[in-house]
A and B are shown apart, each in its own frame.
Chain A
Amino acid sequence: MNRQQKLAWFNLVILVFSLLLSSTVVIWMAVVLKAGPIALSGFGLFAICLLHLLGPAVFPKKRKAGQVLFDERDAEIARRALSYGDVTSNVFFVSTFVCALLALGFEGSVRVASLGLIIGGAYFVSKVTESLTTLILYGRERTDGQD
């Protein structure tokens, strides 16, 4: 497993953990504390997903003499992963607003706090897609031993 795959797994674990944690808190506040719409503030915990930005520090580049760590194929996979993540976040963003428009109508309104959820959701979708694409594109290939 190369550094890009490790970073993708790291991102995926942090993002899914953040989503599960914040969702659990929201459900707990809504059901146990009967907090009503305030329960959605539990999604603020989702901000811990920003820990995934520490990935490059957790997995530093370890270069042996003469060894290449990142080449044109890695760049191509990174570029494709980034573009897939970009597309899915755009689709998420647009579809969310279209759904809101269909559900609430032209005269409807949403809470300002829900905009944060939409942006956070788009970020989540983007990063998860990017990580999954990276893992799939690397994972499809044979893993022959050294010969």
Chain B
Amino acid sequence: MAKTELKNRIRRLRFDHEEMTQQELANRAGVTRQTIIAIEGGKYAPSLMLAFRIARVFGLRVEEVFEYEGPEPDQGSGKKESAGGNVS
């Protein structure tokens, strides 16, 4: 799979949490170790649910574990957004 635009601190966090192994993290997050390797290496962007589960293992919020590195969303599309967030 191609490199994702999602940066993460999982490797750092694992070492900060008593040098947790990839297998331990995988077991606690409910995925395979290969998936943890792929996420750490930036080769796989986890689903929102998995991102929340990984963050919960470390006792952190999602944005403290993952960081989006892609381009900013286009805000000059010319369409107005309503206060409720609905785009007409």
Contact = CB atoms under 8 A, between A and B. Distances in A.
Contact of A73 (B22, B38, B41): B38
Interface string A65-105: 01111111110010000000000000000000000000000
Contacts of A140: 1, 43
Interface of A: 2, 66-74, 77, 137-138, 140-144, 146-147
State the main secondary structure of chain A at its contact with B: loop
Contacts of A138: 34
A142 B32 contact: no
Nearest to B31: A71
A72 B23 contact: no
B60 interface: no
Interface of B: 1, 21-23, 26-27, 30-35, 37-38, 41, 43-44, 46-47, 50
B29 to A, nearest CB: 9
A137 to B, nearest CB: 6
B32 A73 contact: yes
Contacts of A66: 27
Contact of B35 (A67, A71, A137, A144): A71
Contacts of A72: 31, 35, 46-47, 50
Nearest to A138: B34
A77 to B, nearest CB: 8
